[in-house]
Amino acid sequence: MTTGTLPAGEVRTMFDRIAPVYDVMNRLMTLGLDLRWRRLTAEAVVRPGDRVLDACCGTGDLALAARKAGGEITGLDFSPRMLERARRKSPSIEWVEGDLLALPYENGSFEVATVGFGVRNVADLERALAELRRVLVAGGRVGILEITTPTGLFAPFYRVWFDRVVPLLGKLLRGGAAYSYLPASVRRFPGPGELAELMLAAGFDGVEWRTFAGGIVALHIGRAT
């Protein structure tokens, strides 16, 4: 299944361009809740001493949360500008330029893999899940935090927020025009049940999810079989 409509090179260029405003936009878009969601993701899957791959690490906030939970972290991303910002936050974490769709690691290299707001952007979601499974040890854990589309009471508010307010905020910040891409990328992405099915098909079991903020964000966890 292909979820991204932009070629990988364009996605990378887009994130390079967004990098200077990325953290500010996260805080504004989520009213500061994003840090809590990353903390809960890390706490759900990371145990002290685990080797953790945070793929699509961006500016590093989920990797930092995973370290706080006791992991030994490798952060990987294909955008050099996002990685630059991550490095500034913590020079001691290993930050690697690389592609989630072709991870530069041997099978079974990590106890935990996390991805925060990243899988929505990849050109081939099934391949991304298979790569995450491949680099985990059997019994290893995955945590995927991603924006999703709520149903029910919250849906109209969500549509206004993502379709109107977020692109507008993006336009006001230098380099943020690419945020007009966000609503489309969320709409294209599978819902929580479908993502869980894809995780099962990729070799994870015990797949569960919980949602935050009225169903705007979903955390999926699973165990490598």
Ligand X SMILES: C[S@@+](CC[C@H](N)C(=O)[O-])C[C@H]1O[C@@H](n2cnc3c(N)ncnc32)[C@H](O)[C@@H]1O
Footprint on this chain of ligand X (rule: CB under 6 A): 8, 11-12, 15, 38, 56-58, 61-62, 77-79, 82, 99-101, 116-118, 121-122
Helix (H) or strand (E) holding 36: helix 34-45
Q: Which is nearer to ligand X, 82 or 186 (CB)?
A: 82
Min. distance of Cβ 124 from ligand X in angstroms?
A: 9
Residue nearest to ligand X (CB): 58
Q: Which residue has the tokens 């040890």?
A: 137
Residue 92 to residue 87: CA distance in whole angstroms: 8
Min. distance of Cβ 145 from ligand X in angstroms?
A: 7
Give the dihedral of Cα atoms 35, 39, 40, 43; nearest 10 deg. Answer: 180
Min. distance of Cβ 157 from ligand X in angstroms?
A: 22
Q: Which is nearer to ligand X, 30 or 225 (CB)?
A: 30
Name which of 65, 56, 66, 62 is nearest 112 in CA terms. Answer: 66
Q: Which is nearer to ligand X, 27 or 210 (CB)?
A: 27
Give the dihedral of Cα atoms 130, 34, 5, 85; nearest 10 deg. Answer: -90
Min. distance of Cβ 102 from ligand X in angstroms?
A: 8
Q: Which is nearer to ligand X, 90 or 225 (CB)?
A: 90
Residues in the chain: 225
